[in-house]
Amino acid sequence: MKKIVIFLISSFLILFSHAKAADTIKLGILEDETGNFAIAVVPKIHAYELAVKEINANGGVLGKQLEIVRYDTQSDNRRFQEFARRLIKKDKVDVVFGAFSSASRESIRGIMEKNKMLYFYNNQYEGGVCSKTTFMTGAVPEQQFSTLVPWMMEKYGKNVYTIAADYNFGQISAEWVRQIVKENGGNMVGEEFIPLDVSQYSQTIQKIQKAKPDVLMTLLVGAKQASFYEQQASAGLGIPMATSINVGQAYEHRRFAPPALENMYVTVNYIQEVHEVIKSGEFHDKSKDYVERFRALYPDEPYINMESANAYNAIYMYAKAVEKAGTTDTMKVVSALESGISQDGPSGVVTMDPKSHHGSHTIFLVRVGKGHEVTIPKIWKDIKPYWLGDNGCDLANKADYSQYTPSNPPKN
C-alpha cells in the first residue's frame, strides 16, 4: 500500500513538474555581463528583462509566461560556444538572444542554425548575415553610413580620411565609407587601419594632419582605441569627426572628459537623450516613455544606449511572432517574422525585412558639443537595410546561412 502511495505521489510530482515546465516560454540570453564589452552590453541585459517583465504583466505570450535563462559570456568567445550548447541541449530554450561582437555571434551562429534554434542578434555590426533562422535588430552600414557620410561631406567638404580598427568590422565599414564617398563625388585622402591593441596615436594624428581632410571618419572599437579621442583633442587636431560606433553604444560622451569628443557626429538608432533634445512629437514621447519605464526598474543604469532599444524591440517582435504563429516552433515563428512584423519601440517603428531578416531603423544624427552636450541636427525615418535584399538575399523564398561582404556579395 505504502509503495502505491509513494508511486502515485511521485508520478504526480513528475507530471506536475513536466506540466509546469511547459507553462513557460524559455528565452535563452547570451550576453557579456563582464569583460571588455560589459559597458555597452549591460543596458541590453536590462532591456531584455524590462521587456519580459512588461509582457508577463500583460498575460505573457499564448497564455504562458516568459522565462529568461541567461549566462554571462564574459566577453569570451569560448564561453559563447560552451553556453550556447548548454542553452540548446540542457535548458532547451525556445529562442536565443545575444552577442555583442561579430566574432562571438559567428562562434554560435553555426550551432544555432544546425539545431534549428531561432536566434536574434541585437547589435550594430558590419552587415551581410543572410541566415534563415537568424534575425538582426541592430543597425548596419547602409543605414548608418549612407545617411552620415553624404551629410558630413555636404557640410564640411569632400576630402575624407578614415581611421578604422583593423579587423572585419572596421575594414568592411571602411569599405562602405569608400564606396559612399566615391558615389558622392568625394576624395579619400587617406585611410589607416589600426590593430585593436593600439592605445597611442601620436603618429596617426600626424598622418591625419599631413593629409588635411575635411572630415575624419573614426571607426574605432574598444577602450584602447577610444584613447584616440583624448589624444587628438590634446594635440589640437580640430577636424570634425564622424562615426557609427561611439556614443550610441558605450556612451563615451559621458565617460570622457570634455572636449575630447567635440565636434563628433554619430548616426545612431536611439540614445537616451532623444527626448531631452527633441522637445515634442513622436520621438520625444516614445523615448521619454521608454526611459521612464527603464529607470523605474533600473534607477542606477549609467546610460540607456541604442543597443538596449534593439534588445527591447527584439523581445517584443519575438512575442508578436509567436502569437501570430500560435506556437514556438522555430520555422513557424520564422514565417511569422517574415510576414512583416513591426514594433513601435523607443525610437519609433522598426520593421523586420522579410528578405534579409534585418530591421529598418529611424536614424538620428547626433552631434557632440564642446562640453559633450548632445544635439540632433537631423533625423532620417525608416531607413531600410537594403543591401542584402538588393544583392540576392531572399530568405522568405530561398534559405541561406552565410555572411556576405561588399566584395563578396550573394551570388544569384
Partner 1 sequence: MKIDYKKNKLQILTFIVLGAIPLFVDSYYLDNISYFMCWTFISLGLAVIWGMGGILSFGQTAFFGLAGYGFSVISINFLGIAGVSLWSIVLALMLTGIFGLIVGYFLFYGGIYDVFIGIVTLAITLVLETFMQQTAGPEYTIGDARLNGFNGMQGMPTIGFENIPFGLVEGVTQYYFILILSIIILISLYKFKNSKMGLIFLASKEDRDRVSSLGHNVQKIQLIAFTIASLLAGISGILYTNWGGYITPDSMGLVSAALPVVYVAASGKKDFFSVFIGCIFFVWLSQTLAINGKQFAIIVMGLILVIATRFFPDGIILMLKNKLVEKIKWLQS
Partner 2 sequence: MVFLFNIFYQFGDSLAFLLLAAIGLAVIFGMMKIINLAHGEFITVGAYGTVVSGKVLNLPLPIAMAFGVLITIIFGLILEKFIIRYLYGRPLDSVVATWGISLIVSQSFLVIFGPSYEGLQTPMGNFQLGEFSYSEYRIFLIFFALFILFLLYYLFMKTSFGTLARATIENPSISSSMGVDVKNVYTATFAIGAGLAGLTGALYAPTMTIVPSIGQAFIVSAFITVVTAGASPFIGLVPAAAFLGTVQTTVTFFFKSTIGLIAILCAVILIIRYLPNGFSGLLLKKRSK
Q: Contacts with partner 1 in 237-296 (CB under 8 A)? A: none
Q: Contacts with partner 2 in 22-61 (CB under 8 A)? A: 34, 36, 38-39, 42
Q: Contacts with partner 1 in 355-384 (CB under 8 A)? A: none
CA 207 to chain CA centroid, Å, is 32
Decide which of partner 2, partner 1, none touches 36; Cβ closer than 5 to 8 Å per partner kind.
Answer: partner 2
190, 200 Cβ separation under 8 angstroms: no
The total of other beta-carbon atoms located within 10 Å of residue 201's CB is 23
199 touches partner 2 by CB under 8 A: yes
Residue 172 carries which side chain, given as an amino acid letter? I
Binding mask 267-306 for partner 2 (x = CB under 8 A): -----------------------------------x----
Q: Identify the residue among 254, 370, 381, 398 touching partner 2 (CB under 8 A).
A: 254
Rounded to a whole number of angstroms, the minimum distance from the CB of residue 399 to partner 1 is 16
166 touches partner 1 by CB under 8 A: yes
198 touches partner 2 by CB under 8 A: yes
Give the range of 22-30, 103-111, 228-236, 290-298 binding partner 1 by CB under 8 A: 103-111
CA–CA distances in Å: residue 186 to residues 153, 177, 182: 8, 11, 5
79 touches partner 1 by CB under 8 A: yes
176 touches partner 1 by CB under 8 A: no
Rounded CA-CA distance 96/87 in Å is 8
Binding interface with partner 2 (CB under 8 A): 34, 36, 38-39, 42, 166, 192-195, 197-200, 202-204, 206, 209-210, 212, 223-224, 226-227, 230-231, 233-238, 250, 252, 254-258, 260, 302
Binding interface with partner 1 (CB under 8 A): 33-34, 71-72, 74, 77, 79, 81-83, 85-86, 89-90, 102-103, 106-107, 109-111, 114, 166-169, 171-172, 193, 195-197, 403, 405, 407-408
